[in-house]
Structure 1
Amino acid sequence: MTHTYFKNKAVLITGGAQGIGLGMAQRFAEAGANVIIADQDKEAGEQAVQRLERQKLEVTFIACDVSQEQEVKALMQQVGERHQVLHALLNNAGIADPFVGPLQELDMAVFDRVLAVNLRGPLLCAKHALPLLQQAEHPAILNISSTRAFMSEPNTFPYSASKGGLEALTHALAVSLTQERVRVNAIAPGWIETGEWQKESEQYQPNHSKEDKEQHPVGRVGVPQDIAEAALFLCSDKAGFITGQSLTIDGGMTVKMIYK
């Protein structure tokens, strides 16, 4: 399915230079898509292109801060000039560090910045990608949320709020874009190990303890490929009857009761 469905189809992945985004970029490129990576980190973007080129995969990198509307408009203009159409928009860009310290010490500028990237960004991308998505036969938007939208550790206010908002934005967009034939879904990843999927200066070898693995009923921590395979399906016409939904991919971690 994937090698025929995505061949020569334009797929835009924000935050696609590292981590889950890079994993999705690789998988969609393997499936034949014309992948555009948008990322604020130019160094990471250039390294991502080089990394995938070594695997004989061709992708395009465009620098963009998704929280800035003018940059998003410019991004979509470039995508339109190159492809005239967009088959799938994957809103993955986000500030991923969830911990900000005690509430009484919270810097509201940090809160505002996280929401600007993690929540405002996907909305801006959807808004300005819509004319290109409307040119596709089966267009799709996929938002990358988090299990932290449904459960929390202490002192993770901005990140949790942004991902909870993204879950709501997903079904709001889904019911709002029915006339435009755009399906909108989300994936809520759990613990995904991205150490080997970072830019070179930030790569590390994971070292998961027995306890880390046993938190997951499947017996291991997740990897970007786990998310990428599901993204590939949800953006294809095989998922044509699925919209407004959020798929939790966490190895069963959020359904396991843990007593200390």
Structure 2
Amino acid sequence: MDNFYYHNKTVLITGGAQGIGLGMALAFAQAGANVVLTDKDKEAGQQAEQWLQGQSLKVAFIPCDVSQETEVQALMQQVGEKYKCIDALINNAGIADPFQGPLQELDVAAFDKVLAVNLRGPLLCAKYALPLLQEAEHPAILNISSTRAFMSEPETFAYSASKGGLEALTHSLAVSLSRERVRVNAIAPGWIETGNWKRASEKYTPQHTQEDKEQHPVGRVGEPQDIAEAALFLCSDKAGFITGQSLTIDGGMTVKMIYA
């Protein structure tokens, strides 16, 4: 993407304080965007804001729990008052730990919480961002899904279900919002290493075995920048003929046949 392609454009990234979200925030800000990053974790959000602003990037942090309708409404009101429109909404916030234990011991409340953040959250954000998206010239929504929408390890009920639902929500929104000129796509990341992209107290130096790397045909584990580069394209008018699609970015891991 050209430097400053997103100059004077506003990009809202949920779950933007750490991991893939922070990687995307950096990339969009470096491309000239006004980046609004939101996160439930206020400490991580403030750290991210300070780090990015320290690089003379246009970034603002607004705390928000996307599972709470009133908080999403308040978020969009603040964004509208300051920026007037949203050019790209990136629904990235999610509960990332996929494992919930045996089915017979499933905590239904915990299951519901994951779906509230990972699936209802993107719907609420799309709903209340729509008036601001309509004010943009080439508005786009990008949902960050997961390869776990298509394949599972044992006991990942809520995470897999929420990401599968997000894939379906993507094409439903794409069709429904076509008359509003809003394109909607998804990225399904595979194994993305975020150790260097966490809040200060949780950062760690990634250690990957050769076996880890060889699970991927490209020969390495993914990084947040891998997702950010695709996001820059899909949210731009260069992708103007793409909507309702999901792009798997996993280094080829899900197409490699593995024998136990």
Matches of 1:77 and 1:224 in 2, distance apart?
29
1:97 aligns with 2:104: no
Matches of 1:233 and 1:179 in 2, distance apart?
22
Instruction: Deviation per CA, 1:136-188: give whole Å up to 9, x if none.
Output: 01000000000000000000000000000000000000000011000000000
Identity of aligned residues (%): 80
Matches of 1:107 and 1:32 in 2, distance apart?
44
Match of 1:195 in 2: 195
Contact 1:2/1:232, CA 8 A, preserved across alignment: no
Match of 2:165 in 1: 165
Runs of 4+ residues over 4 Å off in structure 1: none
Where does 1:243-258 land on structure 2 (aligned, <5 Å)? 243-258=243-258
Instruction: Deviation per CA, 1:66-121: give whole Å up to 9, x if none.
Output: 00000000000000000011100000000000001000001000000000000000
One-letter amino acid of the counterpart of residue 119, structure 1: L
Match of 1:77 in 2: 77
Matches of 1:56 and 1:179 in 2, distance apart?
37
Where does 1:147-158 land on structure 2 (aligned, <5 Å)? 147-158=147-158
Instruction: Deviation per CA, 1:213-234: give whole Å up to 9, x if none.
Output: 0000000000000000000000
Where does 1:35-46 land on structure 2 (aligned, <5 Å)? 35-46=35-46
Match of 1:136 in 2: 136
Partner-residue secondary structure (3-state), 1:179: helix
* Residue 52 of structure 1: how far off its partner (Å): 1.1
Matches of 1:12 and 1:77 in 2, distance apart?
13
Partner-residue secondary structure (3-state), 2:65: coil
Partner-residue secondary structure (3-state), 1:219: coil
Matches of 1:217 and 1:158 in 2, distance apart?
28
One-letter amino acid of the counterpart of residue 233, structure 1: F
Contact 1:49/1:58, CA 8 A, preserved across alignment: no
One-letter amino acid of the counterpart of residue 49, structure 1: E
Partner-residue secondary structure (3-state), 2:229: helix
Contact 1:91/1:144, CA 8 A, preserved across alignment: yes
One-letter amino acid of the counterpart of residue 99, structure 1: F
Match of 1:54 in 2: 54
Contact 2:4/2:33, CA 8 A, preserved across alignment: no
Match of 2:228 in 1: 228
* Residue 58 of structure 1: how far off its partner (Å): 2.5
Unaligned runs of 5+ in 2: none
Matches of 1:160 and 1:2 in 2, distance apart?
35
Partner-residue secondary structure (3-state), 2:142: strand
Matches of 2:96 and 2:157 in 1, distance apart?
12
1:106 aligns with 2:77: no
RMSD: 0.7
* Residue 4 of structure 1: how far off its partner (Å): 4.1
Partner-residue secondary structure (3-state), 1:101: coil
Matches of 2:212 and 2:61 in 1, distance apart?
35
Match of 1:14 in 2: 14
* Residue 54 of structure 1: how far off its partner (Å): 2.6
Contact 2:38/2:62, CA 8 A, preserved across alignment: yes
Matches of 2:77 and 2:232 in 1, distance apart?
25
